[in-house]
Structure 1
């Protein structure tokens, strides 16, 4: 492995300066708290641990979820984009990851239960069980066949992120410069309409701007951005949403769920890896890739450029801006825990820290009624509207 590919991020994590008040803890514990994007299934597929008890690794386990007040983690059935190149591979992995979540609920029924509707979420909250809901991150397992959509709906999938890091047979990706479809593919347009009829939420995180606007033209129900933040704070980062897109989402009745990953939150973190690579390339060009001088210079460069973690306050800035732009009814939480590696902000390092977010909202003079909307009521409103439309169609 060359020095550039082996280069790792040096992370100096500051002492957590946030301390939630009893009031913040109470609000998190007593009210419905939904996080629409947690990558536990793929984490366990890659590195299994028993998350029904405290774990050494990762951002989620049962004790920490309870401590944070988390009621509904939408577990991401994440499918790597490159699997679409192998027929059947995406669908196979999706079923395996869903199997894992079913097994988790089966092994600890006093702690977890699967949830496929808002009513189930409420019932399970009342009996003190964490609801495992399912969202598919990357629609490649649909494989151009609506029968697969129906199969995954029957297995509990309640939202689909249309694409991921590469364009697929459904949609262009925000990360893919090819933009092969100019937005949605013909099948993608059919799929969005069918998802509306079936009751599967359309997730526009990861798709290109053109695909986003085409989804809004087609969808008869509110759509979601399950784990996105604001382009205002990360200029040029298409993966995040522009002010114009957020206004369009609100006009649609939809909701943006704020991603906690530092690279989604601040420009400095967003550009960190590119900056580090430029410095590393210059060092290697000067000394040669495998030289002792290059190794020493790279180590010194990393030590002098620690990863610029975002802060809880900067995450709150994203929430504030959505509220100022379109109102309190169109924002929620889509942390991307277990999906953004070690890049989480100071104050929001795992699922036990939602009370810190609540404390920050209180300090910014949000009412308890508004905080309840951000924690879960806004998303439940969208989910119910999607269900109600499907019941009629």
Structure 2
């Protein structure tokens, strides 16, 4: 009888400890500045219009959930599909997406604001707003004209991912077998220099390894990987960063923002996705269908529901641990890719209300509160400020020369 009572007491104590850790994680999410450098709300809103200032049925982001999760500054991804470069519409499309974010702010001025600097972002958060800095995903909108960089910087773009799924006029892509530039184009090299001068952060997510190393040589300031993870766990997946690249990024003061998508996190998840694709391709061939067929879509959806392997929260935390072991906590951040990776998000990190789960995991893995403050936003702020400081010095130097 005593043994049963003792076991019951231990269970109750364990539950109490769990609740304490949960409450502490939730408190830290609300206490510290929480920045996520990649959320694909604008593109989502063009595909399925919704007022994310209110609770929404679908998607990963809306104001109520962001508030619960403690999210202060989600970078709105100005995502430009690769085909927009080939048809010449990339610049106009980027402006359209920025108009959409500005419209959201105009609709909910008490909830959202767009910052053009660290200081503005901090003021907006202090006044109770969710600050919406902009990050351009795919530099196709620059369209070979450095004046366009200035244009988008004035509209609020604070980083540019140089390319996306296809190589463009700036850089080769990690996803594209066509590597016409063997890294960056000559214009791409000029663009990196000009981004430093203007104060727009360079984002090395999506670019080829060769392009990454060229950025490291050219950039005078720290750069970011806005939504990448550690290749150590996904061998052969160039879209993630190798240990050597993470060390080089950190040596320059940059930050890798961990992507939450299951296929970025887990080799098993990647393998399950590849099997689903292979089975879908075979299904199409056998029936003479194309990928736009509703029958193909239904087949792939059902197969995904039956066989796709989701990453777990612990798998995501392993990436944070790996970067910490490689270079320390000063070079890690959050780049979830919410609203950008479909339904492949890990259990426990399904939307923006669940950042406290990540924080709880970090606490349980012996990250200090100071470490967590850096990961949630401090590290990214350091890089953002370094870019601003360099750009300000360049402007002042140019004025003196005149």
Give the TM-score of the pair, scaled to structure 1. 0.90
Q: Is the 8 A contact 1:225 1:257 kept in 2?
A: yes
> Do residues 386 (structure 1) and 363 (structure 2) align?
no
Distance 1:194 1:300 in 2: 44
Quote the residue 2:66 is aligned against: 65
Tell me how far apart the structure 1 counterparts of residues 19 and 50 of structure 2 sit (CA, whole Å).
28
| Residue 81 of structure 2 is aligned to residue 74 of structure 1 | no
C-alpha contact (below 8 Å) 2:276/2:300 kept by paired residues = no
Name the residue aligned to 2:204: 204
Per the alignment, residue 359 of structure 2 pairs with: 358
Residues 166-245 of structure 1 aligned to structure 2 (within 5 Å):
166-245=166-245
3-state SS, counterpart of residue 271 of structure 1: helix
- Structure 2 match to 1:102: 102
Corresponding position of 2:133:
133
Q: Distance in 1 between matches of 2:304 and 2:190?
A: 51
Against the structure 1 CA distance between its residues 170 and 284, is the aligned structure 2 distance closer, same or farther, given a 3 Å change threshold? closer
SS of alignment partner, residue 133 of structure 2: strand
Structure 1 286/28 Cα, relative in aligned 2: closer, same or farther at 3 Å? Answer: same
State the 1:102 CA deviation.
0.8
CA distance in 2, matches of 1:383, 1:375: 14
Cα offset, 1:268, TM superposition: 1.3
> How far did 1:125 drift?
1.6
Change (3 A) 1:365 1:389: same
Deviation (angstroms), 1:279: 3.5
Q: Which runs of 4+ in 1 moved over 4 A?
A: 17-20, 280-290, 298-301
SS in 2 for 1:21: helix
Q: Cα deviations across residues 324-355 of structure 1 (Å, max 9, x unaligned)?
A: 00011000000000000000000000000000
Alpha-carbon shift at residue 275 of structure 1 (Å):
1.1
60 and 287 in structure 1: CA distance in 2 versus 1, 3 angstrom threshold: closer
Within the alignment, does 1:44 sit opposite 2:45 as a pair? Answer: yes
Give the whole-Å Cα distance in 2 for the aligned partners of 1:220 and 1:336. 27
Secondary structure of 1:84 counterpart: helix
What are the Cα deviations for residues 329-387 of structure 1, in whole angstroms up to 9, with x where unaligned? 00000000000000000000000000000000001111100000000000000000000
Name 2:277's counterpart in structure 1: 277
Alpha-carbon spacing, 1:299–1:374, altered in 2? closer, same or farther (3 Å): closer
More helix by share: 2
Q: Describe the SS at the equivalent of 2:388.
A: helix
Corresponding position of 2:156: 156
Unaligned runs of 5+ in 2: 1-17, 395-402
Kindly indicate whether structure 1 or structure 2 has the higher relative contact order, using CA contacts under 8 Å at least 6 residues apart.
1
CA 1:188/1:25 → structure 2, altered by over 3 Å: closer, same or farther? same
Are 1:121 and 2:125 counterparts? no
2:86 is matched with 85
For residue 107 of structure 1, report the CA deviation from its aligned partner: 1.2
- Structure 1 equivalent of residue 26 of structure 2: 25
Shift of 1:285: 6.8
2:318 alignment partner in structure 1:
317
Structure 1 CA distance, aligned partners of 2:51 and 2:213?
41
Distance 1:303 1:367, change over 3 A: closer
* Preserved contact between residue 18 and residue 347 of structure 1 (Cα < 8 Å): no
Cα 1:270–1:123 change in 2 (3 A) is same
Larger radius of gyration: 2
Gap runs ≥5 in structure 1:
1-16
CA distance in 1, matches of 2:328, 2:115: 29
Hey, what's the Cα distance between the residues in 2 that align with 1:149 and 1:320? 36
TM-score by length of 2: 0.88
Contact 1:18–1:356, Cα closer than 8 Å, also in 2? no
Write the distance in 2 (CA, Å) between the matches of 1:288 and 1:188: 42
